[in-house]
Each structure stands twice: as C-alpha cells, then as structure tokens.
Amino acid sequence: MNVPEIYADMVFNDKVMRERLPKDIYKAVRKTSKNGTHLELDVANTVAAVMKEWAIERGATHFTHWFQPMTGLTAEKHDSFISPTEDGSVIMEFSGKELVKGEPDASSFPSGGLRATFEARGYTAWDPSSPAFVKDGTLYIPTAFCSYGGEALDKKTPLLRSMEALSDSAVKVLHLLGDEEVTHVDTTVGSEQEYFLIDKDLYMKRKDLVLTGRTLLGAPAPKGQEMEDHYFGVLKPQVSEYMHELDKELWELGVPAKTKHNEVAPAQHELAPVFETANVAVDHNQLTMEVMKKVANKFGYACLLHEKPFEGINGSGKHNNWSIVTNTGVNLLDPGKNPAENTRFLVFLMAVIAAVDEAQELLRISVASAGNDHRLGGNEAPPAIISIFVGDELEKVLISVEKGTSLEDSAKTKMNIGAHVLPHITKDKTDRNRTSPFAFTGNKFEFRMPGSSLSVANPNIVLNTAVAEQLDLIFAKIKDVPADKLDEELHKVLRDTLVAHKRILFNGNGYTDEWVEEAERRGLANLASLPDAVPYFIDPKSIELFTKHGIFTEDELYSRYEILLENYAKTIHIEALTLMEMVRKDFTTGLVRYMKDITTEALKKRDLLPYSKCSYEAQILQTLDETSEEIVRAMDQLAEDTAKAEEIEDVLEQAKYYHETILAEMDELRGWTDRAEAIIPDEYLPYPTYEAMLFSLR
C-alpha cells in the first residue's frame, strides 16, 4: 500500500481546491472558511461544479449534507446528482445553492422544544472549515444544523462558536503579553478511541447487544482481565487484518489514524489519531466510529462502542487530548524554552486550572450519558470527581509561584519566580497518573472521562468556553497596567488565581476512598450520575457563562437539558424492556428446559437405582427453583415500576426514578439470573456466554 498516494484520496481538501479551483475562487473559499463569512452565490456555483466533477471521478452518484443532531450520532439524507432532460436521459447537476444550504425535514430530530412542529423545517449550512469527502458513492458535505429561528440543533454550531470565543479571548491576552503577530488561535484535539470486537454471529444472538449496545445479563467468565495479558499484547491475526483495513479506509478519508493496540480488557482495542483542529477532529472521530463498525462487518465482527458492554470488565473511553495553537504555529500549552515563553505558558496553564475548577460540573455533564455513568467511578475509569494532575515537576513550579520562593532548575541554579524568570520546564512524559480525569501530559491536557460512544464536541465546547472566560478575567486585571509594572502584576494575578483554584489540583491516586473524602473536604463536586449532574447545566452561573460568550442562548441550554434527561430515561427504559424480554423468552426457556431435563434424568435414574438419593440433581433443582422464584418476583417488580416510570411527567424526576429505582431493580434481577446462569450448561441458553464472546476472537 502506497500510503501517501491513498491518503485523503477521497477528500476535497485544501490541496484539491488549490489545484482545481480558479485562483480567485480558491481565495474566496479560503477566506470564508477562515472568517466564517458567507460565500457569494457565483463562487458557490463554481465550487459546487468542481466538487461534483471531482466526486463523480471517485464514484459518487449522490451528495448529502452531513450533520450532527443532538442524538449524538450523525445524520445524512442522500440526493442524487441526476437531473432528467427532455430527451429522456439525465445529466449530473449540483448547484451552489445545494452546496451551501439544505433543508431537511427536521421534525424527527430531538430539539428539546426549540422547534415548534408547525415549523418543523431546519436547515443545514456548509461548514467549509471541515473538508467534504466521498464515502460509499456519496459526496459528504459537513454542515451545521439550525432551526429556522437560528437556534443551534446540533453539536457543531456551539463547538465552532466556542472555538471563536476562545480565540478572541486568547488573542487579547497574547497581544498584552507582547505576541502582536497572533491573530487567531485554534483548539487542537486528538481523541483516542477504545472499542471491543466480538464475533458477529454471537452478537446477533444477543438481543441486549443488538438493542442496547451492552449486555444486560450474563455471568462472568472464569477468566477476565486479571492476568493483564491483553494490554499491548500481540494482535490476533484476523484482528490485525481488521486494523489494517480500518487504517486504510480512514486514511483514504483523510483521518490521520496513527496508533493501534490491544487494550486492557479481553477483545478490547484502541485507535489514536494525530491531533487536528477541534472541529475537524470531532468530525473525524464520528467518521472513525462509523468506519470501525463498517469494517468490522466485513470481517465477521461486531464493533462495540458502548461505554460498558460487559459487567466486571473494563469499559471503553475516549481520551480527549486538548491544546491551543496560534496561527503562528505555537502550542500555548508547551512550557517553552525561555522565560517569556514560560510566562505565556503559565498564564494559559493557570487559565485552564481555574476553568476546570469553575466548570467542574459542566465538564462532568459534558460526558454524562446512561452508558458512561456505568464507567465513571468504576475501577477502570477516572472517578466522577474532576481534578487535575500536573505532575511533580510542574507542581514544584506552581508552589514557587504561590510562595514567591526561588526554585532550583535541573542545572541547580537558583531562580526567582518573577513572571519573567521562570525555570525551564521540561516536558515530562514518564510521570503519568492514569487515575486522573484531567491530566497535563507535557504539552496538552488529556481529559479521560469522555465515553467511547460520545461525540467529543461537548467536552470541547465546555473547555473552550470556560478557558475563554478565565482568559477574559486575567485580561481585565492586567489590561490597564503600565508596561513597567506588567511583570509584577502578572505574577500577582497568577498567584491569586492559583490560590483561588488550587483545590482542583490532585496528583494522588483518584481511585481510592481517601480521595473521595478529601475531595468532599475541598468542596469538589462528586456527581455520580447524569440526573445528579444535569441541573447544573441550567443554573444561573452556567447560563451566564454560555450566554456571555455567545455559545448557547438560554433557550438552547434548556433544550439541551431536556434532551439529555429524555435521552437518559429512554435509554434505561429500553434497557429494562429488553432485559425483561430476554429473561422471559430466552433465559427462562433455557432454565425450564434444563430443570425439566434434570428431573427426567433423575426419575430415570430412580427407576434404575431405586436407592439413589439423586443428591446432585436435587441440589441443582432446588437452587434453580429457589432462584426462579426470585426471578419472578424481581421481574414483576421491574415491570410494575417501569410502567410507573413512564407516567412521571417532570423530566428530571423521571430520570432520577430511572436511575434510583429502575437501574437498581435491573441489577437485582440480573443478580438472580446470573446466579442461575452460572450452573446452567451453555447449550441450554439461546444466547452466548461472556466466555464465548470475550475469548473467541481469531
């Protein structure tokens, strides 16, 4: 495979535009994608014509406006290029209007009450900052999705707004610090994607996996991940072929897939891309998830992206690596090599520290989902408490900033920590704290709470906005300070910020009970579930933050609040129904058949050996009989309460009921069926066991 040749072959990127578009048109498009302005119709017409020709060469017959509604998935509706002519044949057409704007019937997408049904139409608008591409015979045009009133109905619009907000705030601060050349900053994101592969035939036999993405019952296999023999293990031959094909298809789509390896749990893997601008990285992560599933099918696998497909086995996350880069190419979270660079670094570092402290609830909400809640606080994922890990070296620097004391650098020279005389801070990649939800890793922050199936738009919207806010606060404090006092004043601002927010810093083990207690003493939020967290989304502080920076209007916030809660309730509702159906139809059938067979065998044995007590058979029968009584009881309870849940009108109350009552009852029911499953032979169950699913990859 000639990688440079196939790389981005299916992408209408800058290179293609430069080659194919007339010069003035190319310049106009560049300007649009940089400034977010509108494209003139004649320019759009030319771009559309060129794009169509290019796409047809790559086998495209259709185009689609590709968008990210608030389902968290992507949406697409395909239109062909054909236009019938009078002589009964067709020509292929694609106009500028079709490129820049679409009008999908949007009434079936969640809007949280934003879009009254009488004006069900929404519109999609081309986002030229994320390149169009051809996939499976269709030209995909990345778009933003809004209501006719202009409210955002998607994840891209607020993400783009938040990137702009951060850029504006960062540029102001940089100019004050003397970086006059910078006119724009971008947020960069690299999202590491974890996933499971299991045999597709086995997958199809499990209603829970097919309908809900996770196993709702199933006794643990005798072996789990305790041997730690899977992490970075040798790739199984067919898995390796799968990853190879996955890389190839992603590369063709211009997704910079870089690293692949086995993860901690059996049958679990990871793919990490090279980082890109946040907006493109989010689109590419959505594409990655899609292509992962598609390629899995080719190889007879099912790709599981749920956060917790298997009880007792590590779930899957998606680490969001995040930094800020200037249009002059400087990574603002890189400690730098000289004192001035160090100062700039410290300003941005402190803004992030303060932002994460101030927005801890919002960050928690940004990764909340029914699936991810199973993972956060489990033993494999960071706890639901947000804290920042900075590492030993940086901690020493921060202590010096706070105390105003001197610090020895690696060359043992003493330095005063004035803003302009900071020690050279080296990148430290070795000292990693895997238990921290938000870790500084040398020149970026790694947010480890996002779940594997979530769009990374949300965490980045919150991060960008919260950091913009803190940069504004710093700017306000130093903007009128005379140049000769700037260093001194800056140092004071940094120290004050640190003192106010240092409770968020924690270098220790985040998985311990001591940390939970300590975090409570520090006043940090510990929001275990989505219904616990989501009310913070619409509290006055959050409304103030998001509206001030133009990220969400108050209406948009309320709509998202409702959608989050509704989605949560619906997910658990479907899970409860699926669990009951599986127990009733699949599990109980197996159970009854096994009990009948044992009884028949025992009676036969009695005929032959009248003196036998049939102790073994009797014991199994008794256990299963007792368990089945409990199963019936637990099922009745769950059925009754699931019906009750549906009647609750208030969305928050309903979500809480699902969390506190329904999930707990599902767990109880599962406890009983799992206990029985452990003694029923596999062949009696119509669905595969944990052992079969987790240890059968070739």
Contact between 277 and ligand ADP (CB under 6 A)? Answer: no
Where does this chain touch ligand ADP (CB under 6 A) — which range of 57-65, 110-118, 319-327, 462-470? 319-327
Contact between 230 and Mg ion (CB under 5 A)? Answer: no
Residues 603, 617: Cα–Cα separation, whole Å: 10
Minimal distance, residue 464 CB to ligand ADP, in Å: 13
Contact between 303 and ligand ADP (CB under 6 A)? Answer: no
Residues 39, 140: Cα–Cα separation, whole Å: 19
Minimal distance, residue 81 CB to Mg ion, in Å: 42
DSSP three-state, residue 545: helix
Q: Which residue lies nearer to ligand ADP by CB, 451 or 688?
A: 451
Q: What are phi and psi of 196, to 5 degrees?
A: -110, 150
Residues 449, 281: Cα–Cα separation, whole Å: 17
Residues 432, 436: Cα–Cα separation, whole Å: 9
Q: Which residue lies nearer to Mg ion by CB, 281 or 663?
A: 281
3-state secondary structure 655-666: HHHHHHHHHHHH
Q: Which residue lies nearer to ligand ADP by CB, 256 or 312?
A: 256
Contact between 282 and ligand ADP (CB under 6 A)? Answer: no
> Which of the choices ligand ADP, Mg ion, none does residue 441 contact, using the CB cut-off of 5 to 8 A by kind?
ligand ADP
Contact between 444 and ligand ADP (CB under 6 A)? Answer: yes
Where does this chain touch ligand ADP (CB under 6 A) — which range of 183-191, 226-234, 359-367, 471-479? 183-191
Contact between 273 and ligand ADP (CB under 6 A)? Answer: yes
Contact between 688 and ligand ADP (CB under 6 A)? Answer: no
Q: Which residue lies nearer to Mg ion by CB, 446 or 677?
A: 446
Q: How many residues bind ligand ADP (CB under 6 A)?
A: 16
Strands 257-262 and 268-273, by their bridges, are: antiparallel
Per-residue contact string for residues 45-84; x = within reach of ligand ADP by CB under 6 A: ----------------------------------------
Residues in contact with 292: Cβ distance below 8 Å, sequence separation at least 6, in sequence order: 193, 195, 246, 271, 303, 305
Contact between 441 and ligand ADP (CB under 6 A)? Answer: yes
> Which of the choices Mg ion, ligand ADP, none does residue 203 contact, using the CB cut-off of 5 to 8 A by kind?
none
Q: Are the C-beta atoms of 646 and 572 separated by less than 8 Å?
A: no
Minimal distance, residue 432 CB to Mg ion, in Å: 8
Residues 5, 3: Cα–Cα separation, whole Å: 5
Where does this chain touch ligand ADP (CB under 6 A) — which range of 27-35, 214-222, 317-325, 498-506? 317-325
Between residue 295 and residue 354, which ones bind Mg ion under the rule CB under 5 A?
319
Between residue 8 and residue 47, which ones bind ligand ADP under the rule CB under 6 A?
none
Residues 571, 232: Cα–Cα separation, whole Å: 33
User: What stretch of H or E contains 574?
Assistant: helix 554-581
Determine the Cα angle at 624 with ends 620 and 629, to 5°. Answer: 155
Contact between 444 and Mg ion (CB under 5 A)? Answer: no
> Which of the choices Mg ion, ligand ADP, none does residue 219 contact, using the CB cut-off of 5 to 8 A by kind?
none
Contact between 445 and ligand ADP (CB under 6 A)? Answer: no
Residues 342, 597: Cα–Cα separation, whole Å: 75
Determine the Cα angle at 175 with ends 171 and 176, to 5°. Answer: 120
Residues in contact with 676: Cβ distance below 8 Å, sequence separation at least 6, in sequence order: 587, 591, 623, 624, 627, 628, 631
Contact between 669 and ligand ADP (CB under 6 A)? Answer: no
Contact between 268 and ligand ADP (CB under 6 A)? Answer: no
Contact between 260 and Mg ion (CB under 5 A)? Answer: no
Q: Which residue lies nearer to ligand ADP by CB, 272 or 666?
A: 272
Closest CA to 571 of 320, 267, 326, 208: 208
- Is residue 387 packed enough to be buried (19+ CB in 10 Å), middle (13-18) or exposed (0-12)? buried
* Cβ neighbours, 10 Å, residue 653: 14
Q: Are the C-beta atoms of 163 and 278 separated by less than 8 Å?
A: yes
Binder of ligand ADP out of 277, 327, 443, 696 (CB under 6 A): 443
Residues of this chain that interact with Mg ion (CB under 5 A) are 319
Please give the residue ranges that form the binding site for ligand ADP (CB under 6 A): 188-190, 192, 272-275, 321-323, 331, 441, 443-444, 446
